[in-house]
């Protein structure tokens, strides 16, 4: 297992991060513990969760994922692990979290941190991330900015001041963002520099063969400002395994939870998936191996977030992450990207 510095932090993280959003919904506590044991045994020291998990978010299961991770952490060497979680942003119709309405003001962030610490059974969180911005911006399958959707939101400097207080208190170590755009990341970095507050060390965004939007603006920002990408959805909610090509009703997140189709059920997704699947097979790989290996080899990636619903799937994903694509395969991927540019932004 390769280990890398996360952004400009002192965190040394495995090149693979175990995503846990299925724990408590598609996976039981025993399943989750088995995955955590397997990942840790493989050298994975980085675990990502969130207060709103599992997905899809429901009042009945809210917080279950952190609780499952927390019950596993009790028997582990805490100082050998890097634990990341997230505070939910506003306007997602989940007022059961923190009693609603959700916001990113001081009271909400502090309440969220205390809840996560309690469920995780730990005294500190290594990486605390804002799950999505408070302000209006396109995300989760939206593909353009809508000025008509403007809303009031806690200013970015105020959010960062609260996070800085929590760093000073030892409750969190580093700050990260998620589902963020270049303007938002730059505003956080500007506020940190102007006010002497902690700098963001990572941004967790969707990134895969169907969605390389990160490369258009955030890649330069992250390179120049020493911020790592933590890519999620590297298989496009299963689309990039190719299983939906032959059977649109194949068991998976998209068939079990159709609401996720807003991001991955777009006109050019199917032909793009078919083209990448053909490329993979011509080079002796499964479509999933190609998709994972591509993301794992990107120079701006700090750690690839991999989730699974079975141990077999997890082990296969871990092996794929260690594969390196040659220049010929990468050139063919780029040629397909020019033909099917970001079909699922």
DSSP state, residue 308: -
Q: How far is CA 212 from the centre of its chain?
A: 14
Give yes or no for residue 149 having a pLDDT over 80: yes
Q: How many CB atoms lie within 10 A of CB 224?
A: 9
Q: What is the pLDDT of residue 282?
A: 97
- CA-based end-to-end distance of the chain: 30
Alpha-carbon distance of 128 to 172, in angstroms, equals 6
Q: How far is CA 132 from the centre of its chain?
A: 11
Alpha-carbon distance of 74 to 120, in angstroms, equals 9
Residue with tokens 């790592």: 228
Q: What is the pLDDT of residue 141?
A: 84
Alpha-carbon distance of 171 to 114, in angstroms, equals 9
Both tokens of residue 9? Answer: 């932090």
Q: For this structure, is 244 an active site residue?
A: no
Among 53, 128, 207, 264, the active-site one is: 53
Mean predicted confidence (pLDDT) in 89-103: 86
> What are the structural domains of the chain?
3-239+298-325 (3.20.20.100)
Q: What is the pLDDT of residue 256?
A: 78
Please indicate whether residue 224 or residue 259 has the higher confidence score (pLDDT). 224
SS3 190: helix
Q: What is the pLDDT of residue 276?
A: 98
Confidence (pTM): 0.96
């Amino acid at each position: 297992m390769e280990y890398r510095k996360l952004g400009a932090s002192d965190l040394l993280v495995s090149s693979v991060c175990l995503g846990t959003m299925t724990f408590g919904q598609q996976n039981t506590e025993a399943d989750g513990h088995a995955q955590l044991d397997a990942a840790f045994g493989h050298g994975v020291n980085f675990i990502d969760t969130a207060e709103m998990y599992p997905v899809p978010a429901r009042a009945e299961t809210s917080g279950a994922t952190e609780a499952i991770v927390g019950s596993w952490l009790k028997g582990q060497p805490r100082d050998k692990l890097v634990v990341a979680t997230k505070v939910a942003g506003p306007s997602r119709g989940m007022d059961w979290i923190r009693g609603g309405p959700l916001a990113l003001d001081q009271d909400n962030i502090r309440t969220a941190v205390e809840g996560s610490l309690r469920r995780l059974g730990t005294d500190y969180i290594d990486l605390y991330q804002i799950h999505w911005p408070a302000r209006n911006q396109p995300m989760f399958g939206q593909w353009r900015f809508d000025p008509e959707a403007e809303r009031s939101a806690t200013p970015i400097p105020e959010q960062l001041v609260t996070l800085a207080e929590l760093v000073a208190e030892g409750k969190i170590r580093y700050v990260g963002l998620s589902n963020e755009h270049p303007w938002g990341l730059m505003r956080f970095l500007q506020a940190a520099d102007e006010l002497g507050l902690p700098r963001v060390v990572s941004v967790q965004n969707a990134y895969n063969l169907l969605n390389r939007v990160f490369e258009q603006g955030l890649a330069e920002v992250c390179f120049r400002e020493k911020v790592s990408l933590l890519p999620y959805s590297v298989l496009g909610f299963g689309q990039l395994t190719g299983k939906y090509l032959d059977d649109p009703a194949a068991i998976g997140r998209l068939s079990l939870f159709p609401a996720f189709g807003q991001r991955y059920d777009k006109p050019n997704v199917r032909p793009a998936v078919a083209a990448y699947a053909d490329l993979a097979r011509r080079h002796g790989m499964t479509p999933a191996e190609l998709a994972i290996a591509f993301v794992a080899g990107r120079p701006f990636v700090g750690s690839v977030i991999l989730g699974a619903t079975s141990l077999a799937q997890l082990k296969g994903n871990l092996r794929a992450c260690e594969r390196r694509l040659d220049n010929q395969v990468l050139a063919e991927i780029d040629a397909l990207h020019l033909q099917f540019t970001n079909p699922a932004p």
